[in-house]
Structure 1
Amino acid sequence: MGWSGILGLEYGIVQAPLGPDISGPELVAAVANAGGLGLLRAPDWESPEYLKDLIRKTRTLTDKPFGVGIVMVFPYKLNLKALLEERVSFLQLSWGEITKELVNEAHSFGVKVVPQVGSYEEAKRAIDSDVDAIIVQGVEAGGHVLGRDGLISLLPRVVDLVGNRDIPVIASGGIVDARGYVAALALGAQGIAMGTRFIATNESYAHHTYKKKLIEMDKTEYTDVFGRARWPGAPQRVLHTPFFNDWKDFPDGENELSQPVIGHTTIHGKEREVRRMAGTVPNASTAGDVESMAMYAGEGVGIIKEILPAAEVIKRLVDGAQLLIQQKFHAHISD
């Protein structure tokens, strides 16, 4: 196992399961081949055969371990059964209750369970369920945010809670470069999970306009204006685009169902209309008024200056973190 490896992986770097289908087989395989943990995103509806096909396609691109992320507020039981039958290496879970029964079932198939939590209380329940690792998400993260605590305060509390148990703690929220990686390690994490930085890669299935905006823009906002009907009570962090600036005061009590159709997309093989104020980010198949669609991004977006291959993102993280630790911090300690 190489520097900062976790869960049998070479490096302690996790690519978040980017919805709805931004982290497809190409991105997940690229991350896995570079020594990190890539995570597919399961459909937000029951589609077990489609999910099996996604997993099998990913296996044609890598022989390394990878996983699947499930958002538990949507129907998932058949998808869960499918990924267990396929015996993927990792099951990432969010927005739901992680029970011992679920963890034990996954373990019986040889699948490790890695929940994402957004609060101290969630972390405690996950630990009590014998999970294999925990992703701690701070409010700095892009997309739908689980909790309200900043990573710098929440992460060390969860690290202390885990104590000497063999449960790696993985930091998530606003991390995009080696400096963030080292900061997370200093706070007690054993790895990092990144979403925004991996959207801005060659292999991600994000629309080219979305990727371009991640490079050009540096401001995000925590809001609840997108996707209120489809996913109520799930605030999100988005890019502060010109469209968002015009619509950030979208009245309470209104949602996307009353808004006009502004585009079309295909998500996990299904054609969909995209309404204004919907929470669906534009993927590579999306057509229409893309600049008026939701674009999730974490607070670290202003540091991202170029679209890179996923393997290069991982290499720069590892090399840069090693350099920081060996040269800057070691030098200060020696002095």
Structure 2
Amino acid sequence: MGWRGILGFDYGIVQAPLGPDISGPELVAAVANAGAIGLLRAPDWECPDYLRELIRKTRSLTDKPFGVGLILSFPHEENLKAILDEKVGLLQVYWGEFPKERVDDAHRAGVKVLHQVGSIEQAKKAVDACVDGIIVQGYEAGGHVIGQDGLIALLPRVVDLVGDRDIVVIAAGSIVNGRGYAAALALGAHGVCLGTRFLATEESYAHPIYKRKLVELDKTAYTNIFGRARWPGAPQRVMRTSFFNEYGSLSDHDNETNHPVIGHSTINGMGKEVRRFAGTVPNATTTGEIESMPMYAGEGVGLIKEILPADQVVKNLVEEAKQVIQQRFHSSKNSK
């Protein structure tokens, strides 16, 4: 294993499952080939045959293990069965309960389980379920945010909770470079999970305008105006685009079903209308008023200056983190 390897992978770097289909086979395979952990995102509806195709296409691009992320608040029983049948390396679960019986099912299939949490209470349930790893998501994170605690406060509490159990703790929330990686390690994490930084890669399936905004913009907002009908009670962090700055408020009783269609998109093989204030981010197929659609990003987006190949992102993270630790920590120790 290489530097800070976790769960049998070379590096302690996880590429978040970017939805609804932004982290496709190309991105996941590129991350896996670089020695990090790539995660597909399962569709938000039951389509096990399509999910199997995604997994098999990814396998045609890499001989390394990878995983699939599953949102538990959407229908997922058939998709979960497909994931376990395909015996992927990892299953990442989020936004719901995944008790020990389910974890045991995954382990019997040879699949390791990561549970993403946003509070110490959720972390306790994950520990009780005997998961293989816990992704601790801070309030700073992009996309849908499950908790209210900042990463720097929550992460050490989860590290202390896990103690000497054989569970890796992975930090998530506005980590985009080696300095963030080193900071997470200093707080006790075994690795890091990045979403926004991997959005801004050549292999990401995000729309080119979305990618450009990740480089151009540096401010985000925590909001609940997008996708209320499809996914109620799921606030999100988005970039402060011109659209958001002008229309970033919505009556508590309003949602996307009351607003016009502003575009179309093919998502996981299905054609979809995109309404104003829908929660679906623009992928490479999306047409219409792209800049009026939500663009998820974490608070660290201001540190992203260019679109890079995914393997270069992994390499930079490792080399920068090593350099920071060597210069900041070892040099300070040696000077005393």
| TM-score normalised per structure 2 | 0.99
Matched residue SS, 2:50:
helix
* Structure 1 equivalent of residue 238 of structure 2: 238
Amino acid at match of 2:59: R
| Pairwise CA distance, 1:230 | 0.4
* Structure 2 equivalent of residue 183 of structure 1: 183
Amino acid at match of 2:223: T
* Structure 2 equivalent of residue 210 of structure 1: 210
| Pairwise CA distance, 1:247 | 1.2
Q: Counterparts in 2 of 1:54-69, with a 5 A limit?
A: 54-69=54-69
Q: Residue 83 in 1 paired to residue 83 in 2?
A: yes
| Pairwise CA distance, 1:246 | 1.0
Q: 2:72 & 2:165 partners in 1: Cα distance?
A: 26
Q: 1:166 & 1:139 partners in 2: Cα distance?
A: 26
Q: 2:247 & 2:231 partners in 1: Cα distance?
A: 18
* Structure 1 equivalent of residue 18 of structure 2: 18
Matched residue SS, 1:53:
helix
| TM-score normalised per structure 1 | 1.00
Q: 1:219 & 1:326 partners in 2: Cα distance?
A: 31
Q: 1:253 & 1:34 partners in 2: Cα distance?
A: 46
Q: Counterparts in 2 of 1:139-150, with a 5 A limit?
A: 139-150=139-150
Matched residue SS, 1:57:
helix
Tell me how large the CA RMSD over aligned residues is: 0.5
C-alpha offsets along residues 32-75 of structure 1, whole Å, 9 cap, x if unaligned?
Answer: 00000000000000000000000000000000010000000000
* Structure 2 equivalent of residue 166 of structure 1: 166
Q: Counterparts in 2 of 1:33-72, with a 5 A limit?
A: 33-72=33-72
Amino acid at match of 2:241: T
Matched residue SS, 1:254:
coil
* Structure 2 equivalent of residue 118 of structure 1: 118
Q: 2:73 & 2:165 partners in 1: Cα distance?
A: 29
| Pairwise CA distance, 1:328 | 2.5
Is the deviation greater in 302-311 or in 324-333? Answer: 324-333
Amino acid at match of 1:45: W
Q: 2:287 & 2:124 partners in 1: Cα distance?
A: 43
Q: 2:6 & 2:87 partners in 1: Cα distance?
A: 19
Q: 2:328 & 2:275 partners in 1: Cα distance?
A: 50
Amino acid at match of 2:8: G
| Pairwise CA distance, 1:326 | 1.3
Q: 1:98 & 1:290 partners in 2: Cα distance?
A: 35
Q: 2:147 & 2:124 partners in 1: Cα distance?
A: 14
Q: 2:48 & 2:142 partners in 1: Cα distance?
A: 27
| Pairwise CA distance, 1:167 | 0.5
C-alpha offsets along residues 130-150 of structure 1, whole Å, 9 cap, x if unaligned?
Answer: 100110000000000010000
Matched residue SS, 1:159:
helix
* Structure 2 equivalent of residue 29 of structure 1: 29
* Structure 2 equivalent of residue 265 of structure 1: 265
Corresponding residue pairs, total: 335
Amino acid at match of 1:230: R
Q: 1:319 & 1:94 partners in 2: Cα distance?
A: 30
Matched residue SS, 1:70:
strand
| Pairwise CA distance, 1:249 | 1.4
Q: Counterparts in 2 of 1:220-235, with a 5 A limit?
A: 220-235=220-235
Gaps of 5+ in 1: none
Matched residue SS, 1:300:
helix
* Structure 2 equivalent of residue 280 of structure 1: 280
| Pairwise CA distance, 1:88 | 0.5
* Structure 2 equivalent of residue 314 of structure 1: 314
Q: 1:308 & 1:324 partners in 2: Cα distance?
A: 21
Identity of aligned residues (%): 68
Q: 1:90 & 1:141 partners in 2: Cα distance?
A: 22
| Pairwise CA distance, 1:9 | 0.3
Q: 1:216 & 1:252 partners in 2: Cα distance?
A: 31
| Pairwise CA distance, 1:250 | 1.3
* Structure 2 equivalent of residue 253 of structure 1: 253
Matched residue SS, 2:165:
coil
Runs (4+) off by over 3 Å: none
